[in-house]
Amino acid sequence: MTFTRRHFFAAGLATALPLRAFAHVEQSAEDWVVPEEFLPRPVRFSEPQTPGALIVDPDYFALYHALTERRGMQYSVGIGRGNLYESGAFTLGAKKEWPSWTPTRDMIARDPEQYAKWADGMPGGPKNPLGARALYLFDDLGNDTFLRIHGTPEPWTIGSAVSNGCVRLVNQHIIELYDLVDIGAPVLLLPKSEGT
């Protein structure tokens, strides 16, 4: 069997049960209770990882934060829908608390009715799509990719593929992760398996 980059990295991640998205019931973020299976949990890696690294496995809606070479934390995430999820190796280039948000040109083109009104940006706050914190992913040349790992005002979307390409966490979880990760940390967004 030929091992791809995905096999190499995925083999190093702890085995986890796939998360199933819960049926969305209209409610406020303040009233929503995080299901037990979506709570952060410690994991042990079967292969050494780079301490401080963030690794997203879209097949399991999971983000792993390597605390040491062999131990880390697993967080439940939402990912980009359809072909909007973008895999690759990145660097954490910036971090912001209660960040402002501006939809990309592609987002406005896909859904002008929803996004055009925010073309000049939306200030940070509880209703901002980036939630309480955002981690900004940069490419090898130091350019902002416009990919984010961020919070969400819609926590019930965790465990599903609904975003415009970014990785989202429950606000409480991104606040915790934000304080633990450093600028310059490597970030790996693994590709989706075929058929997912």
Active site residues: 150, 166
Residues 96-122, buried b or exposed e (16+ Cβ, 10 A)? eeebebebeeebbeeeeeebeebeeeb
Please, which residues bridge with residue 72 across strands? Answer: 43, 66
133 with 174: CB under 8 angstroms? yes
Are 85 and 161 spatial neighbours (Cβ–Cβ below 8 Å)? yes
Are 54 and 138 a contacting pair, CB within 8 Å?
no
Helices (H), the chain: 5-11, 105-110, 112-115, 171-180
CA dist 52 and 72 (Å) reads 9
Which three-class secondary structure state does DSSP give residue 99? Answer: coil
Distance CA 76, CA 60 (A): 8
